[in-house]
């Protein structure tokens, strides 16, 4: 398996006025295609900063980050937007769906910016929604959906462009444990059946146990990185078959 993500000696420094905050101090990491990684750590450990850099939403102060060999360091904002659009799918803690917009249109959003024609957008978005088990709820607005359903819409949106990697930032943070397990089930199935690489941030060890590899951040450094030989099998991880 080839290396999808290569991070070498990554440093991120924020300057808040006079004070300099070292969010990341020399992080090196390699993620292969098809992995399901959980990144853990207390708040302020640098895991969110790391995620932003992996998602090309932020640039490192120094060091190197390659996604499929692409270095974002010297790319313009628009070029980064294109990479995010084609190679990265985001799932956020707060779902971040557009309100007053149907589930289908939310899922279509990345395709709009990819410049796909209307009929193709509809078709692809519908497929992505049925992939996460929301067939028949295409025209519901976020306010008419439960938290778990909203997060599934967000997952469908993240998948719709067939990205190389799915980045999930506390995807279960706003959900109860039963719904959380459902979401993890979807992640495991996507990872297993479609071979989608997932990197997920969480601070709950329960949730991390669903992943195949666990990484622990502390004070801007990776302090632990081990494979999880026996990931918890989520109920429903077998998926809809």
Which residues contact another protein (rule: CB under 8 A)? 52, 55, 57-58, 77-78, 81-82, 84-86, 90, 92, 96-98, 100-101, 109-110, 112-118, 157, 161
As measured in angstroms, the least distance from the Cβ of 81 to another protein is: 5
- Least separation in angstroms between residue 145's CB and another protein is 16
Supply the minimum distance, in Å, between the C-beta of residue 88 and another protein: 9
Nearer to another protein, 23 or 211 (CB): 23
CB of 236 to another protein, least distance (A): 27
Q: Which is nearer to another protein, 53 or 211 (CB)?
A: 53
Q: Closer CB to another protein, residue 84 or residue 213?
A: 84
| Residue 174 or 232 with smaller CB distance to another protein | 174
Q: Cβ 22 to another protein, closest distance in Å?
A: 18
**DSSP string covering the chain:** --EEEEEEEEEEEEEETTEEEEEEEEEEEEEETT-EEEEEE-TTSSHHHHHHHHTTSS--SEEEEEETTEE-TT--HHHHHHHHHHHEEEE-TT--PPTTS-HHHHHHHHHHHHT--HHHHHHHHHHHHHHTT-TT-TT--GGGS-HHHHHHHHHHHHHTT--SEEEEESTTTTS-HHHHHHHHHHHHHHHHHS--EEEEE-S-HHHHTTSSEEEEEETTEEEEEEE-SSPPPPTTTT---
Closest CB to another protein among 157 and 213? 157
């Amino acid at each position: 398996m080839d290396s999808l993500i290569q991070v070498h000696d990554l440093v991120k420094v924020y300057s808040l006025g006079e004070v300099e905050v070292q969010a990341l101090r020399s992080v090196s990491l390699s993620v292969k295609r098809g992995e399901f990684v959980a990144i853990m750590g207390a708040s302020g450990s640098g895991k969110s900063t790391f995620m932003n850099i992996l998602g090309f939403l932020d640039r490192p102060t120094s060091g190197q980050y390659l996604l499929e060999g692409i270095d974002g360091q010297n790319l313009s904002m628009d070029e980064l937007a294109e990479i995010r659009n084609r190679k990265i799918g985001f799932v956020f803690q707060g779902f971040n769906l557009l309100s007053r917009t149907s589930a289908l249109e939310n899922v279509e959003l990345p395709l709009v910016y990819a410049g796909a024609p209307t009929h193709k957008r509809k078709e692809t978005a519908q497929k992505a929604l049925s992939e996460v088990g929301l067939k028949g709820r295409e025209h519901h607005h976020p306010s008419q959906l439960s938290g778990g359903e909203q997060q599934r819409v967000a997952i469908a949106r993240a998948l719709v462009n067939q990205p190389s990697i799915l980045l999930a930032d506390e995807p279960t943070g706003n959900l109860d444990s039963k719904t959380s397990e459902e979401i993890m089930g979807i992640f495991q199935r996507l990872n297993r059946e479609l071979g989608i690489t997932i990197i997920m941030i969480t601070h709950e060890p329960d949730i991390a146990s669903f992943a195949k590899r666990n990484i622990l951040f502390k004070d801007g450094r990776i302090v632990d990185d081990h494979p999880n030989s026996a990931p918890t099998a989520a109920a429903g991880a077998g998926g809809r078959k």
